[in-house]
Amino acid sequence: MKNVKKKIKKLERKICYHLYLYHTLNKPKISDLEFDFLIEKLDILKKKIGIKKKFSYLNKIGSSLSKKLKTVKHLTNMLSLESINSIEKLEYFIKKIITFSKKNNLKKPEFCCELKFDGVALSLIYKHGKLIGASTRGNGIIGENVIHNVYVIKSIPKKLVGNNIPKLLEIRGEVIIHKDDFIRLNQSFRNKKGDFFSNSRNLAAGSLRQLDPIITKKRNLSFYCHSIGFYTPFLKFPNSHFNFLKLLDSWGLPVYSLRQLCFNVKEIVSFYKEVKKKRSSLKFEIDGIVIKTNSIDMQNKLGFSSKFPKWSIAYKFPSKKKITSILNINFNVSRTGLIIPVAKLKPVFIDGVEIKKVSLYNQKNMEKFGFCIGDLVTICRSGDVIPKIVDINVENRKKNNLKPIKFPIYCPSCNSKIKNKFGDNFLRCFSGFECVSQRERMLIHFFSKDALYIRGLGKNIIRKLVDKDIIFSPIDVFNLKIRDLVNLNRIGDVSIKKLLYEISVSKETTLSRFLYAFGIKDIGKTVSVNLSSHYKNIENLMNSKFEDLLLVKKIGKKVASNFLSFINKEENRKIIYSLIKIFKFKNN
Ligand code: IVH
């Protein structure tokens, strides 16, 4: 308990330090993801000892006002938004608003749904339609005066146009940087060995808080407004947020057009999905949608909590990236002899899926990135399935003096020299069945569901039989005796008898399954079916020639020569002929 408390204190200090780097100096040393990771870690520790109160950094950034910029008090506090990340929480929010409207005899609520811009908050003051003030959020009450920089942001009008403009108007919105500008600028910083920004939001914040507007101008910032802070009463005051945005647009303020009025959870979810789909094609970063009660009257009645408006919520997109560390790097030997480096990771969950390892592909990739044990890496699930490393924390590498892991020269399984024979980016072990790893994987494939499947003969039993040198080639499975199986852990008498029975009745198969079982390069399920329907029986197949192989559907020169080199190898022929003696073939 004492130990955990100490850890919590230490972690809180670390978080405050990073908040200072981020908000005050604009020079974060860690990415947002790494920061979230610290917060997550802290919450876990607190949970461990029953502390319910989560770390609130909102009230810890009071110290974040830059000493170099002048400060200004906002006309109305600049609050933040509560965020959610599930439909259940959205349902809860909508239900609360509906209940409130019923209780207060108000009209059925409508919701204005918009983009959640991933930028930096800005407040603008217009007096008689003329821009006179601009400030960052600061601590929500007092912000930093950045008017000198706002003058160089093209999309912010210096004078409003149109009718019924209030005497005093406080506009809220988000300063963003376009994705392509972010890449371009970061590249130039890298070239000059200057600061490097981990995301476009940090770069936008850093650019907005420059002392020299010439620098800000070069950053090509943009702005979109999303709400109003203070205003003096004016004619034709809109009754809804949606119409408010329309009005701002008519005054020449930049309002992004993608927004929608929704009436229920279903419509909001469908808008959320639509935006999520469009996300990658947008010119700037967004991190979710914002849902706002549309009626201004209802907004006023709902009011604010200490931090958030009660009438609005941010429905964020799930983070598909996580930071974790490399615990080890193993070199696996695939069924076909490829040597594949695999990083064992400290397990992390992305979208509910636990990720424990990630492929480092090949030697070329290993050398390019110099992966080390202890590396802090950002993981994402590419295409939502396969995990991939998208970022490496180089600072951490330097700090801990980590050394890159070298690619082996010999096969980690059979110790034979590994080679690159096909001119591709892969090193391979060419020992085939002689290599235990390949043998194990070949046998697993041989008896897998689409090949010569034997009920009860799973991966684990095959591994144990190979490990104990009981089976070497597939034919050995058909000669197994009770004594071979009794010594394997966790397999009882009944299971042994069942397995031996299943083996004895499994000697009937189709030619295509038989062929597929050998896992010959490029001979997958479809090609196996094509070959067996062309050659009809195994004898014809074993005597096939290059020219007539080319007549088979989906077989080109490369596949044909792979196939021939396999069936003409002495050891393969031996295995095939020993098996066909005991197998009976039925039609495909
Ligand atoms: S409305 C009273 N609408 O997200 C608060 N905010 O994480 C009104 N943001 O502080 C905010 N897009 O800086 C609103 N469409 C949008 C937004 C948006 C981005 C920012 C805003 C806010 C932060 C909360």
State pLDDT tens for residues 422-436.
777 889 999 988 899
Judge whether 294 and 112 are in contact, CB under 8 Å.
yes
φ and ψ at residue 418, rounded to 5 degrees: -95, 145
pLDDT of residue 61: 43
- The architecture CATH gives domain 320-399: Beta Barrel (2.40)
Q: Does domain 2-59 have CATH number 3.10.180.10?
A: no
Tens digit of pLDDT for each residue in 30-82? Answer: 665 567 667 778 878 888 888 877 665 544 443 355 667 888 999 999 988 99
Domain residue ranges in the chain: 2-59, 71-314, 320-399, 432-586
**Ligand 1 neighbour 299 (Cβ under 6 A):** no
For atom 21 of ligand 1, which residue has the closest CA? Answer: 121
Ligand 1 atom 22: residue of nearest CA:
80
Q: For 136-294, where are the alpha helices, taking DSSP H only?
A: 147-150, 179-191, 200-208, 213-218, 241-250, 265-278
Distance (Å) from CA 308 to ligand 1 centroid: 10
The helix-helix angle for 2-19 and 32-48 (nearest 10°) equals 160
Please state the separation of Cα 5 from the chain's center in Å. Answer: 32
Under CATH, domain 432-586 is a member of which superfamily?
5' to 3' exonuclease, C-terminal subdomain (1.10.150.20)
The CATH number of the structural domain formed by 71-314 is: 3.30.470.30
From the CA of 119, give the closest atom in ligand 1.
Answer: 19
Query: In the chain, what is the greatest distance between 2 CA atoms, to the nearest angstrom?
Result: 97
| One-letter identity of residue 411 | C
pLDDT at 58: 43
Q: Which residues of the chain have pLDDT under 70?
A: 20-34, 36-37, 54-67, 190-198, 319, 351-353, 381-385, 588
95 CB-side CA count, 13 A:
6
Distance CA(501)–CA(420), nearest Å, equals 44
Ligand 1 nearest atom to the CA of residue 81, by list position = 24
CB 416 within 8 A of CB 429: yes
> To 10 degrees, the CA torsion angle through 11, 12, 13, 18?
90
Domains 2-59 and 320-399 share a fold: no
Ligand 1, atom 2: nearest CA belongs to which residue?
79
Q: Give the chain's radius of gyration (CA, Å).
A: 33
CA distance 325 to 378: 8
Q: In angstroms, what is the span from residue 81 Cα to ligand 1's centroid?
A: 6
**Quick check: CB of 258 below 6 Å from ligand 1?**
no
Closest ligand 1 atom to residue 115 Cα is 15
Against a cut of 0.85, is the pTM above it? no
Give yes or no for residue 314 CB within 6 A of ligand 1.
yes
Q: Which two tokens stand for residue 437?
A: 């790893």
